[in-house]
Structure 1
Amino acid sequence: MLPRRAQLARARAVATSALREYPMPPGRLTFLTHGENTTFRLDCDDGRFLVRVHRPLRHGRSLDPHVAIGSELTWLRAIASGADVGVPEPIETRDGSLTATGAGGDWTRVCSVLRWVEGRIIEDFTHPVHFARLGRAMATLHHQADTWTPLPGFARLTWDHEAFFGDVMVYGTLRASECWELLPRALAERFDAVRDRLGPVMANDADVGLIHADLHLGNVVHHDRTISLIDFDDSGTGPRVYDLAVALWERRDEPEYPMLRDALLTAYRKVRPIDTTHLDDYIAARQVAFDLWYTGTAQVDPAFADRLDVVHRWSADMLDLLEAAPPSLVTTP
């Protein structure tokens, strides 16, 4: 495992290399996060920007990263022009491309740049109004996708049963099947049960289309009384109710959960209908996906490795909660 400091040094060199392809003048590059991708904030005379250094095979083993990331940014442009919801603005290179390739040491990575979204992220001490705003924005996003036809060549991950439970994804540097093999045996058996349960559920889910796929409050920027949705890196075609499940997943074990759930769903349904009969099943799918991702990332990032056992225990506790819960009282449109 390459030490974290060495990984960050390579990522910074990659970002610096890729930025030469963009029209912004040089500026100060500040490290932000190192997980799924590595991100930096660029402050320069032209303003503030988010620089993303994308992990190889981030979007599965079959998609060209330039095409996948370019498609993500194409959707952002369509949302900005056709929906009443804030999203980041993609920045083109000097030659009009939405992505650039950067090199640093022995790393070569695809990079992209977005204009910085001003505001604040509210994840702690949330109120139902925050979930109501998110529900309304999420439904607006889904409605935009229902009415938008991408141009030929658009390609994003398909969040189907195989993507969640098969061998489509690569986490860290490991195929999903290799991550399954690293799970504690008892937990793997419980994940197998979720996989089997979700098979017919997903096969019969008709409300499928473009989704954000990671739309929790950590990816919502609040400014005054408006919100912007950020981090579309997981976006693809999948069940719409999965976006709702992601928004509620980390709050599922909190006493305030029913109130937050109802605020989210009530606001969503003012824009478009949705059936949430299997909401808890999709929350279970999210838990499985998160644990597999964390397991793979822990093999290449010491910070993740230190907390892997904690995440496994949380997954078991979450499945206990979901399996003991009565059917949801808020289901059909």
Structure 2
Amino acid sequence: MSASHPFSELGPSLLLDMLESTGLHPDGRLLALNSYENRVYQLGVEEADPVILKVYRPGRWPKDALSEEHAFAEELAAHDIPMVPPLAFDGHTVGTHAGFYFAVYPRRGGHAPPLDDADTREWLGRLLGRAHAVGHARAFAHRPAMDPQSMGTGSRDFLLGEGWIPGHLASAYASLTDDLLVDINAAFDRAGGWSPIRLHGDFHPGNILWTDAGPHLVDLDDCLTGPAVQDLWMLLSGDRTERTLQLGDLLAGYEDFHVFDPRELVLLEALRTLRMMRYAAWLAQRWHDPAFPSTFTWFNTDRYWEDHVLALREQAAAMQEPALSV
């Protein structure tokens, strides 16, 4: 397998063989689904419902970390939290085939939640409160922890060190991110002794499948240890008044099942800034994968980097504002 094209060998024959190695019998139907960090496919199965085959990016996670992700999904499901865990074959959920780790999931449908509805937000708050009560019960051993250094400093140093920032912006980007990192670390200091818990880690609307019966959760690929607010802030949007209202609805449901530490609210804009910095570095680090240049055609243009610097300047101002409160 070419190091520059991690998934270049994932042709239909290999994917069908991969699924067949679990003991399932594919019927030849294969549909690629939108996914970039990993590769995800829907495969038909003889005399059974189709399944979802997730092929992990080589070198990203060791097997222990994948097993721990799957165990967390199973633990959530065992507590009646609507999580979609992977299927087990011979007692194992992480498969290995042709040098790839993979997992097989039951197919579940749904659409993004209607976040403009207060009842929906309170329902999602209850769901998160229940999930965080489970996440608080024990610790990860092999998953990462929320770390401003790796997400912020590491991302910044990679982009500058590898020459991704255009020359006319490099000085401004370096100075701006110096200041941002000071403010981010100060926010973590002000938040005090919040309790780290196991989190979904990437709790945006695209990872919530909504149905008439309510939500169910997918994709724990970024699960990690961190502050509870990491799983809340991506559900907020709009101006300060709108975000305050949305946060109140979420926490009204959340605190039915788990106590929220309000000191964590000072981290909200710091976490948003870290995600923005990490996202730019992630795109750059994956640019050798042919799926990225063909999909993210707007990336690595002067306009992209100019907009990125502008957005980070806006975050610098946002981090000077008082934290949201409810």
Whether these two folds match at TM > 0.5 is yes
Paired residue secondary structure (1:196): helix
Once the two structures are TM-superposed, the CA of residue 259 in structure 1 deviates from its matched residue by 3.5
State which of 135, 149, 155 in structure 2 corresponds to 1:145. 135
Q: Closer, same or farther in 2 for the Cα pair 1:286/1:149, shift >3 Å?
A: closer
Paired residue secondary structure (1:141): helix
| Native 8 Å contact 1:37 1:52 kept in 2 | yes
Gaps of 5+ in 1: 170-175
| Alignment-mate amino acid for residue 80 of structure 1 | A
Q: Considering only CA atoms, is the larger Rg found in Structure 1 or Structure 2?
A: 2
Alignment RMSD, CA only? Answer: 3.1
| Native 8 Å contact 1:102 1:110 kept in 2 | yes
Once the two structures are TM-superposed, the CA of residue 49 in structure 1 deviates from its matched residue by 1.8
Q: Closer, same or farther in 2 for the Cα pair 1:265/1:320, shift >3 Å?
A: farther
Once the two structures are TM-superposed, the CA of residue 314 in structure 1 deviates from its matched residue by 4.7
Once the two structures are TM-superposed, the CA of residue 14 in structure 1 deviates from its matched residue by 4.5
Matches of 1:242 and 1:6, distance apart in 2: 30
| Alignment-mate amino acid for residue 328 of structure 1 | A
| Alignment-mate amino acid for residue 316 of structure 2 | E
Matches of 1:31 and 1:92, distance apart in 2: 22
Matches of 1:35 and 1:269, distance apart in 2: 35
Q: Closer, same or farther in 2 for the Cα pair 1:149/1:299, shift >3 Å?
A: closer
Matches of 2:147 and 2:60, distance apart in 1: 16
Q: Closer, same or farther in 2 for the Cα pair 1:197/1:264, shift >3 Å?
A: same
Once the two structures are TM-superposed, the CA of residue 20 in structure 1 deviates from its matched residue by 2.3
Paired residue secondary structure (1:31): strand
Once the two structures are TM-superposed, the CA of residue 5 in structure 1 deviates from its matched residue by 11
Q: TM-score, normalised by structure 1?
A: 0.79
Matches of 1:145 and 1:304, distance apart in 2: 35
State which of 69, 73, 76 in structure 2 corresponds to 1:76. 73
Q: Closer, same or farther in 2 for the Cα pair 1:144/1:8, shift >3 Å?
A: same
Match status 1:39 vs 2:21: no
Matches of 2:305 and 2:183, distance apart in 1: 20
Q: TM-score, normalised by structure 2?
A: 0.81
Query: Match of 2:53?
Result: 51
Q: Closer, same or farther in 2 for the Cα pair 1:205/1:14, shift >3 Å?
A: farther
Matches of 1:305 and 1:299, distance apart in 2: 12
Q: Deviations over 1:210-252 (max 9, x none)?
A: 111100111001121411111100001122222223333xx35
Once the two structures are TM-superposed, the CA of residue 298 in structure 1 deviates from its matched residue by 3.1
Query: Match of 2:221?
Result: 233
Once the two structures are overlaid, the 10-residue window that deviates more, 188-197 or 8-17, is 8-17
Matches of 1:224 and 1:129, distance apart in 2: 13
Match status 1:113 vs 2:95: no
Moved over 6 A (4+): none
Aligned residue pairs total 305
Query: Match of 2:177?
Result: 191
